[in-house]
Amino acid sequence: MHKKRFNITGTCYPDKHYMVDISERVEIIAGMVERGDYFCINAGRQYGKTTTLYQLKKRLDADYCVFSISFEGLPDSAFESLERLGYSFIQLLADCIDFKEVDNLSPSTHEIIQESLNSAQGELIADRLSVLISKINKFSEKPIVLIIDEVDQAGNFPVFIKFLGLLRERFLSRVTRPTFQSVILAGVYDIKNLKLKMRSEAEHQYNSPWNIAARFDVDLALPAAGIAAMLAEYKADHPEIPEVECLNPDEMGALIFAYTSGYPFLVSRLCQILDEKKLFWDKEGFLEAVRLLLSEKNTLFDDFTKKLDDFPELYQMLYSALYQGKKLYYNVSECTMDMATMFGFIKNNNGKLAVANRLFETWLYNYFLARDQMDEIFSLGSIDKNQFIKDGQIDMEHLLSRFAVHFNDIYGHNDDAFVEKMGRKLFLLYLKPIINGVGNYYIEAETRDETRTDVIIDYLGHQYIIELKIWRGSSYNERGEEQIAGYLDYFHAAKGYLVSFCFNKNKEPGTKCLEIGGKRIFEAVV
């Protein structure tokens, strides 16, 4: 039995889990603490926040008295009033002491905290909480750092705004009144986006008193080089893995990063699947791990589903960007984009909105397709499925020919606006049941726009590159044919496929084969 394993639940510990070295980011955050910054660490679910805070505390323990607490698990009653919240806050500090989680604690600080609890007078704690914070810091032998994880737990309660206001007041008076060296709040929600129960569920609270917070620009994503180093450690611990089954750690690290963009949960889960399912550590094994991950229920995807259900505007924005190729320019000041960024759905890609990583994008397509699977074209894909698979490969020419026939039979009477808006969606609906359970697909984000989408299919070790293009005339279409030929060079593929949605009233639907730049292109016109 090997001592270490890949972990996707709770904090990762270097002596128990395979994990990427995050010491560099911890040093940057420690520098913010040394400057006396108050700041927030906001990132999507399971993005490594708690693990980062654990490593940060270990780094700070030698020089500071660190109270690392969490609001997770506090009952709603703790937020009914400032009296109750103040008492719960002091109790959390006392718990850190009781469980010996605080280094450099002076006896005086301990006595002040314990006396406050023993008084059992909530009103007194509320009235004097500001003074109590100053006294705790005044008599401490080392500067005190306060870390509060899972602040989302408090986000629905108006009293939390009062608590933030109290910390802000202490910060502004720090020259004359002792206070915390640094306060770090961690959670998914940015403080300014916390919804309050005292307001309509459709509204958001933006006037948070946390305007003292320093800007936090530390990237919590795991870099490809760090993933490779983790895999090198894993490989060294598993000499029983034949060399032919294991990619070079650098190559595998780059492949994992290409699909996850370093999202910690996705990185660890893919590695965990490869390890526990005893898949080959090669590209085919990796793609099987991707398929298994995308088909499972897990806490991260469950949370995404809830967010899409709770925020219709978020659903519509992502639906338009993915299904319809709508080009959206990234603007964090726009409420829905800000929210999508906060939840981890999207990122800023050179000024344009992009889904945060390839796995999320494929998951979103699957989510949207699942809601549309009652469409007739999906049923036809299910019926036709068996005739396309030959010797473990997809007969893509036959598949596209059948799609062209079905599309023209069912949707040929619709206007151009319908075809332009729904064409790519209908192709993916037809494709989904054919590869479901065996293959994967993803959309090449760099080439997707209103008129073009590149679908990359991985099926049992074989790759198929298909371009979906809206036909705008002969010269435009010829450019598209040349474009896919160049794209095939990128993938080192000799053959590609083109689906042209044509609006020309005199169009001739059907299929044809082209030879462009030494590449064979099979085109279906619908």
What pLDDT digit, counting tens, does each position of 463-519 carry? 999 988 877 666 555 666 677 777 788 788 889 999 988 876 666 778 999 888 888
What pLDDT is recorded for position 196?
43
Strand partners, 182: 145
- Fill in the DSSP letter of residue 262: T
What pLDDT is recorded for position 447?
56
Q: Which CATH class is domain 23-193?
A: alpha beta
> For 137-168, what is each residue's pLDDT tens digit?
999 999 999 999 999 888 888 889 889 999 99
Mean pLDDT score, 410-430: 82
**Averaged pLDDT of the chain:** 88
- In the block, residue with structure tokens 């750690």: 249
pTM of the model: 0.91
Q: What element of type H or E holds 316?
A: helix 312-323
What pLDDT is recorded for position 444?
78
Q: What element of type H or E holds 465?
A: strand 462-471
Which residues, in sequence order, are CB contacts of 336 under 8 Å at separation 6+?
A: 311, 313, 314, 317
Domain edges within the chain: 23-193, 224-296, 375-526
Q: Does residue 202 surpass a pLDDT of 50?
A: no
**Amino acid identity for residue 413 in this structure:** H
Lowest mean pLDDT across 194-208, 236-250, 468-482: 194-208
144 by Cβ neighbours in 10 Å (0-12 / 13-18 / 19+) ranks as buried
CA distance 274 to 282: 10
Choose among 151, 168, 156: nearest CA to 194.
Answer: 156
Mean pLDDT score, 336-348: 94
% of the chain surpassing 90 pLDDT: 63
Which residues, in sequence order, are CB contacts of 355 under 8 Å at separation 6+?
A: 318, 321, 322, 345, 346, 347, 361, 364, 445
